[in-house]
Structure 1
Amino acid sequence: MEDKSARMPPPRLLILSVVLCLLFSLRVDANGGTENFSRATDPPGRELRGVWMATVLNIDYPQRPTTDASTLMADFRSQLFRLRRAGINAIFFQVRPAGDAIYPSRYAPWSEWLTGQQGTAPASDFDPLAFMIKEAHAQGVELHAWVNPYRAAMTLDSTRFAAKHLYHRHPDWIRAYGGRQYLDPGLPQVRQHLGLVIEELVDNYDLDGIHFDDYFYPYPVQGVTFPDSTTYLRYGAGKSLGDWRRENVNTFIAETHQRIKSRKPWMQFGVSPFGVWRNRSQDPTTGSATSASVSSYDDLYGDALAWAQRGTVDYLLPQLYWHRGYAPADYDILLRWWVNNTPRDFPLLSGQAAYKVGDNPEAAWDDPLEIFRQVNFNDQYPSVAGSVYFSTRSVLANKLNFVGVLAQRYATLSILPPRKAPGGVKEVEVKVFRPRNTDKGRLIVWEVQGEMPKEDLPHYYAIYRRGSDGQRRLIHRTPYGQGCTRYHYYDQVEASMAYDYFIVALDRYHRVMPDAVAK
Structure 2
Amino acid sequence: MDKIFRIKKMAGLLAVTMLLAFVTAFSGITGSGLKAEAADMEQRAVWISYLDYAGLKDKSQAEFTANINAMYDKAKSENLNTVIVQVRAFNDAIYPSAYFGWCSYITSNPAGPGYDPLAIMIEAAHSKGLRFEAWINPYRIDSATIHNPGSVDTIYLIVNGVEEIVRNYNVDGIHFDDYFYKGYPEVSVEQKKANVNEMIRIVYWKIKTIKPDVEFGISPQGNIDNCRAAGADVDTWLSNSGYIDYIMPQIYWTDNYGAGGGTAMYSSRLAQWNALNKNNTKMHVGLALYRVADKSAYDIGWSTSSVNLLDQANIAKNAGASGYTLFRYSYLNAAAARTELDNLKSVQEDRSKVEAFVTRLYRNILDREPDAGGLKYWSDALLYGNQTGASVAEGFLFCSEFEQKNIGDSQYVDILYSTCLDRAADAAGKTVWLESLTAGMSRRGVFAGFISSNEFKGICQNCGISAGNVALTEARDQNAGVTRYVYRCYQQALGRTPETEGLNYWTGLILNKTVTPEAAAKGFLESAEFRSKNYSDTEYVKTLYRLFLNREYDEGGLAYWLEKLAGGSSREEVMFGFSKSPEFNGLLQNYGL
TM-score for both structures, normalised by structure 2: 0.52
Please point out which of 271, 275, 283 is paired with 1:336: 271
Q: Within 5 Å, which residues of 2 pair with 1:381-460?
A: 381-382=319-320, 384-401=321-338, 402-412=340-350
Please point out which of 259, 262, 268 is paired with 2:215: 268
Corresponding residue of 2:281: 346
- From the two aligned structures, give the one with the greater strand fraction: 1
Please point out which of 92, 95, 103 is paired with 2:87: 95
Q: Within 5 Å, which residues of 2 pair with 1:17-96?
A: 46-55=41-50, 59-63=51-55, 65-96=57-88
Paired with 1:131 and 1:462, the residues of 2 have a C-alpha distance of: 30
Give the CA deviation at 1:132. 1.5
- Please state if 1:251 is matched with 2:172: no
Give the CA deviation at 1:373. 1.0
User: Residues 318-346 of structure 1, C-alpha deviation per residue, up to 9 Å, x if partnerless?
Assistant: 00001113257810001111111212532
Give the CA deviation at 1:116. 2.8
On the 8 A contact 2:289/2:337 being kept in 1, the answer is no
On the 8 A contact 1:319/1:350 being kept in 2, the answer is yes
Q: Secondary structure at the match of 1:410?
A: helix
Paired with 2:88 and 2:327, the residues of 1 have a C-alpha distance of: 17
Q: Within 5 Å, which residues of 2 pair with 1:293-372?
A: 295-298=226-229, 300-311=230-241, 312-326=243-257, 330-343=265-278, 345-362=280-297, 363-366=300-303, 367-372=305-310
1:79 counterpart letter in structure 2: M
Paired with 2:280 and 2:249, the residues of 1 have a C-alpha distance of: 16
Q: Within 5 Å, which residues of 2 pair with 1:454-473?
A: 469-470=389-390
Percent identity for Structure 1 against Structure 2:
27
Paired with 2:138 and 2:92, the residues of 1 have a C-alpha distance of: 10
On the 8 A contact 1:270/1:315 being kept in 2, the answer is yes
On the 8 A contact 2:331/2:337 being kept in 1, the answer is no
Give the CA deviation at 1:51. 0.8
2:138 counterpart letter in structure 1: P
How many residues align? The count is: 342
Please point out which of 126, 132, 138 is paired with 1:143: 132
Corresponding residue of 1:105: 97
Q: In the superposition, relative to structure 1, how do residues 68 and 276 fare at CA in structure 2: closer, same or farther (>3 Å)?
A: same
Q: In the superposition, relative to structure 1, how do residues 380 and 469 fare at CA in structure 2: closer, same or farther (>3 Å)?
A: closer
2:390 counterpart letter in structure 1: G
Structure 1 residue runs without a partner (length 5+) = 1-41, 155-179, 219-225, 233-240, 279-294, 418-431, 436-445, 449-457, 474-490, 502-519
- From the two aligned structures, give the one with the greater helix fraction: 2
Q: Which structure ranks higher in relative contact order (CA pairs < 8 Å, sequence separation ≥ 6)?
A: 1
On the 8 A contact 2:255/2:266 being kept in 1, the answer is yes
1:470 counterpart letter in structure 2: A
Please point out which of 152, 177, 180 is paired with 2:141: 152
Structure 2 residue runs without a partner (length 5+) = 1-36, 356-362, 383-387, 394-418, 426-454, 460-593
On the 8 A contact 1:93/1:144 being kept in 2, the answer is yes
Paired with 1:112 and 1:470, the residues of 2 have a C-alpha distance of: 56
Give the CA deviation at 1:447. 9.8
TM-score for both structures, normalised by structure 1: 0.59
RMSD of aligned Cα (Å):
3.8
Paired with 1:257 and 1:149, the residues of 2 have a C-alpha distance of: 13
- The structure that has the greater radius of gyration is 2
Give the CA deviation at 1:303. 1.2
1:314 counterpart letter in structure 2: D
User: Residues 201-247 of structure 1, C-alpha deviation per residue, up to 9 Å, x if partnerless?
Assistant: 110111111010000012xxxxxxx2575xx6xxxxxxxx2211111
Divergent runs of 4+, >4 A: 461-466, 493-499
Q: In the superposition, relative to structure 1, how do residues 472 and 111 fare at CA in structure 2: closer, same or farther (>3 Å)?
A: farther
On the 8 A contact 1:305/1:341 being kept in 2, the answer is yes
Q: Secondary structure at the match of 1:266?
A: coil
Q: Secondary structure at the match of 1:202?
A: helix
Paired with 1:324 and 1:469, the residues of 2 have a C-alpha distance of: 33
Q: Secondary structure at the match of 2:207?
A: helix
